[in-house]
Structure 1
């Protein structure tokens, strides 16, 4: 084989340029030609090459040259298509379309009856053309002269002895005996009188007899002699009568192949099969009426298994595409195209179907557009991302704003198919803009489908804007008057719960879902319950992983120099005072070690007993001031260590302890943490809080303000100068001549060495009991601090 290839290549190099490359050799019996698979050098397309070695087979050179000449001049759809030829003194090469010998399939008996009839029908049409229109005799009708094309059609070759009866020097009478294995296929009259007798007989006589032998061989698998021809068991019964007439020993009474063809095409004839009818009608598909076209397509579906797969690719598919694009084939034809397209390779699909699909998307016909969108799932895998993103989608988006609702709806549905092929910029830009319009469409079905679409493409959206877009879209759908639109929003929220943060779930999504729990439709209420449960479970799981508090430990707040105050522990039983029970027990636990009763100071003004409960108690002791235990609201303050100056306490009444009517709290909790970090001349009057110690431990004021002393002095009209008042608690001085600046949150502005504070007091509620004037001033100071 390698030697043959090298010899062929050497011969080509010495002769005229031949733009084809030889491949594997194909077995071809009963022929003067050697058949090779080949490729065209220019584009790599497949072909077949018939080669004839003149030096090795010089006696049959007239037959080879006759075949070369006839192939160049004879053109018919049933004849082997010639691509190129070259002839030198040593060889003849004929390049044709890619072929495979029919004899392979005959020997294997791999042909079905319907396929065999279809092939015989094609050969009969070609022989009729040669005998009647070309007034010629083929003289070599046999399986070795018939080939399968790439489309699976039977093509006639073997034109070695093709002769015209009008020629005086016709090749058949002179060289007919040189045809390989001529005796086996020879007609009876030629066996008796030789090839010269053909001039006296009808033109069709030789070819009709050979065609009858062909029928026997393709149905039986082999043919050895004329004695077998009477065995018609394998031949279809409908052909028997005409088959006998083809083999009539008398050439003048012999039926022509043309007559055999007409006989078979009659109503109920052996050539009236769905396969043959489809083949004849498919070429005129674009000219047929709608009912005829629909009938043909239904037949095409029925006989799909009888046709070679390549026939659909090479013959049926191009005709269907032309019918869709130019012949008004419509949706049904395009659906058939998609079914055939599933059997194509990616290269075949890109070559045959993709260009037509791109052109059809630019077609303004709404029926074509809907058909394309319906079949998008079948074609999307064969289309490249660049093609979809740059050419198809820009044409597709016109459907979002089409006046026909069916086009808008099909366009929304097609988004699910096309979105994996789109770039992130297109998805998060143009596509979302169009979906925002269809989400407010006048058709409730389109609004519903848009919500479903958003839920299914949620993971294709950009992570930065996804939560915002989905929350806005689903919130809009939950207010939709159409019940199925609301249901779609709840389903979408349940399906996309994992795409939202826990904060969004709790603060944005649950609030918009909760109204659906009391929707008028039970369908919505049930689905809302399921969706809300999904979010609640997720939020609970997240909350369980959160820390108990983000506030710093008390020992950190005090610089770690003291022990943190003991707080009460929430009680799990139900015997307490409800939700406030733990706070009350904490308050009472602090005072558990104190006995006796509070002694009011008789030396002070009697109005002291009527002060607000938020004002600290006063004492007459002048030894050391009380020390605040904590700078946070709600912490208890203890007085000094002396038994003489320590008031006796009783457990507070839970009712009066939380009397909101008696106190007014400012919501500005941050005032206690302000740090005078701008270099004021005064020291921070609040200092660092000191943690409480047992009663046996002495108290050190550590520079803390004397609250009790100050309050007692205010009641008796005296001034306390041991410790300055805290910032924000100093009363305004009416006689001050310095520049006055307002104090907010307990801070004062300093000018020179003297400071004047102006207290901004929020408005207070009107108390139930009228308080003394001195007490009102004290309450104003607390209100400012809080």
Structure 2
């Protein structure tokens, strides 16, 4: 039975049982340190030396079959017997959720297990019922409850009478008390007929041959005459167990016994056959078989079947067989198990389609199972495996992030060199332009005489000032008279109101901008030798103001005195008046009236109307003529 301490100390057992009867209780358990490795633990309620659970453990350990409950360990402790088996759930707890197709496959599994006991073990089960059948997490039915198993040679009326109390009452044959049924297998035939009736009587017919098999179970398997009950082999040949889905299931189960030609033909036609069935049923019933080791290593399956299985069906045009939710429920858990298999060919097959199904795992599954196994593959000596693993890790970066996949310290070593696009919309630029123009008009006071040429002034640079004597046409070269030079002295004697406005405008940023623009134009029009020294002022991008409108600007300059001669342009400061414009060309009240055309213009921006030979700049007239000729 095993060492008492060696097993009890290795399991974490839930105290509350989820099933119990007069002989034992059933608990969930898992190995310590391995929470994913779960088992089902049976604990006897009897303290006798030889309990029924101990007999069951011995029979399970002796009779091994794919359709019989798998034995793990058994031991005794504290006067109780313990039996650990693979993780299962009693059929009675899940039968309501089983589909007719799942029931069909399950009944066939039970028949195969009974047939093994009858033909190979020469034994009778003697207690086939729902409490003796268990279902694995993958949906497979397993036959258990072997505590009343007896060899045909040991079967007697006394044995049947002694075991009558613990067996399923409805599954006992009516004539069993008077004599031993002949043949001995008739006991299990009758009990299987009762089981079939209980699980199929309330089901709708959607499996071929279901109604006929139910009728056979009621009329023939439950017949009073033992000789009228069909054998187990005959039942396995019924149409209920020979339709296409069952045929595929049987072929996958018996795959090691098939020839290479049979495998090639089977795997080539299998995808089309599976597409005709419900994806949920295929994934739940055939998922483990379709992803078995022998299938994944088969070359024909790798070419025709595995691409359809490993690719989720995300859209109607997808080649996948399973919808995303079905894939997550049934295929992903199986893939996690396969990732722990250290076989190069199996791993390469998974990595080939990893980009197609990597998002079918949850974040904890990726962190706990997939990433550690991929990191093992990176350290392998096989270059092909390392390359495929690195590509798989790259597919996980968008899901988990580079910090999780790569780890370690990271820094930004690259910059984005794409040109930046101005996010301001066209409508926004127009509105900003209108606001800016409105502010300029309000500050200057002559919105009608200063037009803005560009719709988007921020997109244009100010005009480059012309070099001395260059680019300016001859017709626009300013020529002044002696009277105009004398008129500059009167700027210092302006009325107090003008000087007051000058001080106000000197601190106005909007006026400063226009003053700078005017200053550039003045520098462009006046020869360099006669150019005044203009005080430096911070300026914003200038406005494009037409030259022909600049006579409306009121500009004041201050003259700097030098030791050699008097500089008339010292401290020239343009002044723009909002309310009053001083027009120099108008005769002064204290002067005698004279014709308007005879009054010399005092504006330096007025174009010359006199001959340059008669009026000039005195000694500098030769420089002006030379500049014009150079142009």
Corresponding residue of 2:497: none
Two-structure CA RMSD over aligned residues (Å): 5.9
Q: Within 2, Cα distance between the matches of 1:391 and 1:673?
A: 74
Residue 94 of structure 1: how far off its partner (Å): 0.5
Residue 156 of structure 1: how far off its partner (Å): 0.5
For residues 217-251 of structure 1, the C-alpha deviation after alignment (integer angstroms, 9 at most, x for no partner) is 222479xxxxxxxxxxx971245347644345444
Residue 704 of structure 1: how far off its partner (Å): 3.2
Contact persistence 1:164–1:170 (CA under 8 A)? yes
Aligned with residue 83 of structure 1, among 63, 72, 76: 72
Residue 214 in 1 paired to residue 195 in 2? Answer: yes
Residue 99 in 1 paired to residue 88 in 2? Answer: yes
Q: Within 2, Cα distance between the matches of 1:389 and 1:542?
A: 58
Aligned with residue 570 of structure 1, among 448, 464, 467: 448
Corresponding residue of 1:118: 105
Corresponding residue of 1:307: 281
Change (3 A) 1:423 1:242: closer
Q: Within 2, Cα distance between the matches of 1:353 and 1:783?
A: 95
Corresponding residue of 1:644: none
For residues 653-709 of structure 1, the C-alpha deviation after alignment (integer angstroms, 9 at most, x for no partner) is xxxxxxx9xx6999xx9x95669xxxxxxxxxxxxxxx969xxxxx9x965359xxx
Determine helix, strand or coil for the equivalent of 2:117.
helix
Q: How many residues matched?
A: 484
Corresponding residue of 1:292: 266
Change (3 A) 1:173 1:75: farther
Corresponding residue of 1:43: 34
Contact persistence 2:310–2:356 (CA under 8 A)? no
Q: Within 2, Cα distance between the matches of 1:613 and 1:252?
A: 135
Corresponding residue of 2:176: 190
Q: Within 2, Cα distance between the matches of 1:291 and 1:546?
A: 82
Contact persistence 2:220–2:230 (CA under 8 A)? yes
Q: How does 1:322-721 map to 2 (within 5 A)?
A: 322=296, 327-328=301-302, 329-335=305-311, 336=321, 339=324, 342-344=327-329, 348=333, 351-352=336-337, 363=348, 372-373=354-355, 419=398, 421-423=400-402, 465-466=415-416, 468-469=417-418, 471=419, 500-502=421-423, 535-537=425-427, 539-540=429-430, 543=433, 568-570=446-448, 613-619=477-483, 625=489, 632=516, 634=518, 703-704=559-560, 721=565
Corresponding residue of 1:240: 215
Change (3 A) 1:372 1:71: closer
Q: Within 2, Cα distance between the matches of 1:51 and 1:389?
A: 37
Corresponding residue of 1:174: 159
Residue 98 of structure 1: how far off its partner (Å): 2.5
Contact persistence 2:110–2:142 (CA under 8 A)? yes
Determine helix, strand or coil for the equivalent of 1:86.
strand
Residue 272 of structure 1: how far off its partner (Å): 2.5
Change (3 A) 1:384 1:88: closer
Residue 277 in 1 paired to residue 247 in 2? Answer: yes
Residue 347 of structure 1: how far off its partner (Å): 9.1
Change (3 A) 1:144 1:16: closer
Residue 775 in 1 paired to residue 621 in 2? Answer: yes
- RCO greater where, 1 or 2, for CA within 8 Å and sep 6 or more? 2
Q: Within 1, Cα distance between the matches of 2:482 and 2:520?
A: 15
Q: Within 2, Cα distance between the matches of 1:345 and 1:338?
A: 11
Determine helix, strand or coil for the equivalent of 2:60.
helix
Corresponding residue of 1:71: 60
Q: Within 2, Cα distance between the matches of 1:184 and 1:145?
A: 14
Residue 27 in 1 paired to residue 12 in 2? Answer: no
Q: Within 2, Cα distance between the matches of 1:14 and 1:291?
A: 49
Change (3 A) 1:154 1:501: same
Q: Within 1, Cα distance between the matches of 2:346 and 2:8?
A: 48
Change (3 A) 1:42 1:245: same
Residue 150 of structure 1: how far off its partner (Å): 1.5
TM-score by length of structure 2 reads 0.58
Q: Within 2, Cα distance between the matches of 1:362 and 1:726?
A: 90
For residues 112-155 of structure 1, the C-alpha deviation after alignment (integer angstroms, 9 at most, x for no partner) is 43332221111001111111112211111112211122222211
Change (3 A) 1:244 1:623: closer
Determine helix, strand or coil for the equivalent of 1:246.
coil
TM-score by length of structure 1 reads 0.48
Q: Within 2, Cα distance between the matches of 1:547 and 1:376?
A: 60
Q: Within 2, Cα distance between the matches of 1:34 and 1:46?
A: 17
Residue 104 of structure 1: how far off its partner (Å): 3.8
* Residue ranges of structure 2 left out of the alignment (5+ in a row): 204-208, 312-320, 379-390, 407-411, 455-473, 493-501, 503-513, 538-552, 572-610
